[in-house]
């Protein structure tokens, strides 16, 4: 509620006090000013990376044991306000999800709760954020489960229900029914339109693929500019040109969505460079296609230049445009009477399902926005087909792709999530008797008599690791007294083909155990012997954490 009002009133202040209008030259400069203010705030005040909010939450769950810095509880609200109110072409949902998740994480840290409950509090914060901003409690819960990959057990469901319903009620109480946009359906779903919704799913799936690829490539291209000021100016000015030519690209785009839902889609291009043209023909779908292409670029420019915002609102915006473009094109081409408002709504679910890899979130969000489930069947078909289409080409969502490439995505793999809670240092066993290479077999036998283990690391006087001796390998000679003074440890030892470091991840250690037959792995730190990690101890700890992780 605070974020949406802050963005709204800041934009009113900027537009009224500084003469920012659709025909004002300030519309060209406004995005760059907002991004510059955001960068200054982040660099001088926050001094930390707060971009890509949902990805930050996933990274915290995967690599930080759910611990998030305290400044995340407010920094994204301020930064995204500066970006969006001045025209940055991004959404406020990802920053508020980061904020809500950070509140949950820090409540968990202050309350000294376990890892499992800290992750649940993060999910409750995210669910509350989505539920509050859209007045859609079911969508908030589904988002936490589908995107953050929380386990949906009875123990987790009740807190999620309480968080999402509370946020929705508060939003309804202070902001009324029309939180962002609400659209009560006037027309019923016609079964004859079902094949077109299937085709819309294919279309939104391929558009989602473009959305993901174009976003990544645009960000990478702009980030090649190493100088931050030059990057802000370049990205901001290009964004300003796009918005000046097509004002529909300004900000989150919810005003444009309202026009489409109210049957006034033609007004989208009234204030653009195409405003005086005849839009009763193929010109209108053509302009929609241009906006669809450029919206992704505008969003990526905003983020890459230093702005703070997410892809949630742009995916809804482009989804609505996709549905309108699809329906208008078919109506013009084949003379059909496809209901454009229905296709706007279903298209929103289709692009959300494809871009975020979250079909259920898209389905329930649009169902709650429309106040019922009259469009449930087309929503399910379009969202499912869109997800299947993009998943064939791109297995990761826009939130998880970069994390997956860097090997930092654990939330979508329970095995990796449990392993991420373990570390090599806590599993090192040090009750192995060391021997020197110059020891005779007789001296070695005396050490064996005092040891509880059948593995003996060989070290020099400076504790440098030289190799290992296994009892099983020398069992045939260990009782031959005639060899006690003739054979030395250096003749018996060998260097194992694998070893691990105290800083290695447990996922790497588990992979070593998996591909080898070893039951014990030497732990070496910069050449120095530290101890051993045993397969049995790792498995025992893994099972213990898995039980804690999964139990209700």
pLDDT in tens, 260-278: 888 888 888 877 787 777 6
Nearest alpha-carbon partner for 205 in 431, 86, 382? 382
Q: Say if residue 152 is in the same domain as residue 12.
A: yes
- In terms of DSSP H, where are the helices of 184-311? 194-222, 228-245, 254-261, 283-305
* % of residues, the chain, pLDDT over 70: 91
Instruction: Please give the pLDDT value at position 426.
Output: 86
Q: Do 295 and 214 have their domain in common?
A: yes
- Above 80 in pLDDT, residue 22? no
**Residue closest to 231 by CA, chosen among 140, 300, 304:** 304
Q: Please state the length of the chain.
A: 552
Cβ 378 vs Cβ 357: under 8 Å: no
pLDDT at 402: 79
What is the tally of structural domains in the chain? 3
Tracing tokens 């509140």 back to the chain, one arrives at 103
Q: Which residues pair with 505 in a beta bridge?
A: 423
Q: Based on the domain organization, do 170 and 101 belong to the same domain?
A: yes
Q: Residue 414: which pLDDT band, with cuts at 50, 70 and 90?
A: low
Residue 285 lies in a domain: yes
Question: Are 263 and 361 found together in one domain?
Answer: yes
Query: Are 343 and 203 contacting, i.e. CB atoms less than 8 angstroms apart?
Result: no
Residues 86 and 160 in one domain: yes
Q: What is the pLDDT of residues 147-175, one digit of tens each?
A: 987 777 778 899 999 999 999 999 888 87
Question: By percentage, how much of the chain surpasses pLDDT 90?
Answer: 56
Which stretches of 428-527 are assigned E, i.e. beta strand?
455-459, 465-470, 520-525
Residue 42 has pLDDT above 70, yes or no: yes
CA dist., res. 192 & res. 189, Å (int): 9
The C-alpha atoms of residue 315 and residue 292 are separated, in whole angstroms, by 10
CATH code, 437: 3.10.580.10
345, 392: one domain: yes
Q: Flag whether pLDDT at 21 surpasses 80.
A: no
Are the beta carbons of 229 and 35 closer than 8 angstroms?
A: no
SS3 annotation, 24-87: CCHHHHHHHHHHHHHHHHHHHHHCCCCCCHHHHHHHHHHHCCCCCCHHHHCHHHHHHHHHHHCC
H helix or E strand, kind and range, residue 533: strand 528-534
Same domain, yes or no, for 6 and 51? yes
Question: Greater confidence, 126 or 15?
Answer: 126
Of 412, 428, 455, the residue that ends a domain is 412
Residues 6+ apart with CB under 8 A from 122: 57, 60, 61, 66, 68, 101, 104, 105, 108, 148
In a domain, 182, yes or no: no
Domain co-membership, 406 together with 420: no
Whether residue 210 is found in the same domain as residue 297: yes
Q: Which of 433, 455, 444 is nearest to 499 (CA)?
A: 455
Query: In the prediction, which pLDDT does 264 show?
Result: 84
The residue from 175, 207, 241 where one domain ends is: 175
| H or E, element range at 514 | helix 506-515
8 A C-beta contact, residue 450 and residue 433: yes
pLDDT value of residue 265: 80
Question: Do 73 and 91 share a domain, yes or no?
Answer: yes
- 454, 317: one domain: no
- The domain in which residue 380 lies consists of 191-412
Nearest of 164, 160, 91, 100 to residue 132 by alpha carbon: 164
Same domain? For 436 and 528 the reply is yes
Confidence band for 358, pLDDT divided at 50, 70 and 90: very high
| Residue 219, domain member (yes or no) | yes
| CA 39/CA 456 separation, integer angstroms | 57
- Which region among 104-113, 179-188, 293-302, 415-424 has the lowest average model confidence (pLDDT)? 179-188
- Residue 250: which CATH number? 1.10.3080.10
pLDDT digits (tens, 9 = 90+) for 275-318: 777 666 778 899 999 999 999 999 999 999 999 999 999 999 99
Identify the domain boundary among 381, 412, 443: 412
Flag whether 126 is in a domain. Answer: yes
pLDDT at 469: 94
Alpha helices, DSSP H, located in 335-375: 340-355, 359-369
pLDDT value at residue 200: 98
């Amino acid at each position: 509620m605070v974020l949406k009002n802050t963005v709204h009133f800041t934009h009113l202040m900027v537009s009224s006090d500084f003469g920012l209008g659709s025909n004002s030259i300030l519309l060209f400069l406004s995005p760059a000013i907002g991004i510059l203010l955001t960068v200054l705030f982040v660099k001088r005040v926050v001094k930390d990376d707060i971009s890509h909010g949902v990805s930050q939450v996933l990274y915290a769950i995967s690599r930080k044991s759910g611990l998030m810095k305290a400044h995340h509880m407010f920094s994204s609200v301020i930064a995204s306000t500066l970006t969006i109110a001045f025209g940055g072409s991004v959404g406020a949902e990802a920053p508020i999800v980061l904020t809500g998740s950070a509140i949950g994480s820090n409540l968990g840290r202050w309350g000294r709760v376990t890892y499992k409950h800290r992750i649940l509090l993060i999910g409750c914060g995210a669910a509350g954020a989505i539920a509050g901003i859209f007045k859609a409690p079911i969508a908030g819960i589904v988002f936490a489960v589908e995107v953050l990959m929380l386990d949906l057990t009875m123990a987790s469901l009740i807190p999620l229900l309480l968080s999402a319903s509370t946020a929705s009620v508060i939003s309804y109480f202070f902001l009324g029914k029309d939180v962002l946009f609400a659209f009560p359906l006037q027309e019923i779903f016609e079964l004859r339109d079902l094949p077109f919704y299937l085709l819309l799913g294919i279309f939104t799936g391929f558009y989602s693929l473009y959305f993901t690829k174009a976003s990544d490539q645009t960000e990478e291209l702009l980030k090649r500019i190493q100088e931050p000021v030059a990057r802000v100016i370049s990205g901001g000015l290009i964004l300003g040109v796009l918005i000046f030519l097509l004002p529909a690209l300004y900000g989150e785009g919810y005003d444009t969505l309202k026009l489409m839902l109210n049957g006034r889609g033609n007004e989208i291009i009234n204030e653009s460079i195409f405003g005086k043209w005849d839009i009763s023909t193929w010109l209108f779908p053509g302009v929609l296609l241009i906006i669809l292409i450029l919206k992704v670029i505008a969003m990526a420019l905003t983020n890459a230049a230093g702005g703070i915002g997410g892809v949630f609102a742009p995916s809804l915006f482009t989804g609505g445009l996709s549905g309108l473009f699809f329906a208008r094109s078919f109506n013009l081409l084949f003379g059909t009477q496809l209901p454009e408002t229905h296709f706007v709504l279903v298209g929103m679910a289709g692009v959300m399902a494809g871009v975020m890899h979250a079909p259920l979130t898209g389905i329930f969000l649009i169902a709650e926005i429309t106040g019922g489930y009259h469009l449930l069947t087309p929503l399910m078909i379009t969202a499912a087909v869109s997800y299947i289409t993009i998943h064939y080409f791109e297995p990761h969502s826009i939130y998880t792709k970069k994390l997956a490439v860097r090997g930092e995505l654990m939330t979508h793999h329970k095995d990796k999530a449990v392993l991420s809670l373990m570390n090599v240092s806590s599993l090192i066993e040090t009750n192995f008797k060391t021997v020197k290479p110059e020891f005779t077999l007789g001296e070695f036998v005396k050490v064996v008599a005092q040891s509880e283990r059948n593995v003996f690391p060989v070290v020099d006087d400076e504790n440098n690791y030289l190799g290992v001796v296994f009892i099983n390998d020398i069992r045939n000679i260990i009782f031959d007294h005639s060899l006690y003074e003739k054979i030395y440890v250096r003749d018996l030892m060998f260097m194992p083909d694998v070893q691990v470091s105290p800083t290695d991840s447990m996922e790497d250690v588990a992979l070593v155990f998996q591909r080898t037959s070893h039951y014990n792995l030497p732990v070496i730190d910069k050449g120095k012997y530290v101890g051993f990690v045993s397969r049995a101890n790792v498995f025992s700890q893994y099972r213990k954490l898995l039980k804690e992780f999964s139990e209700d």
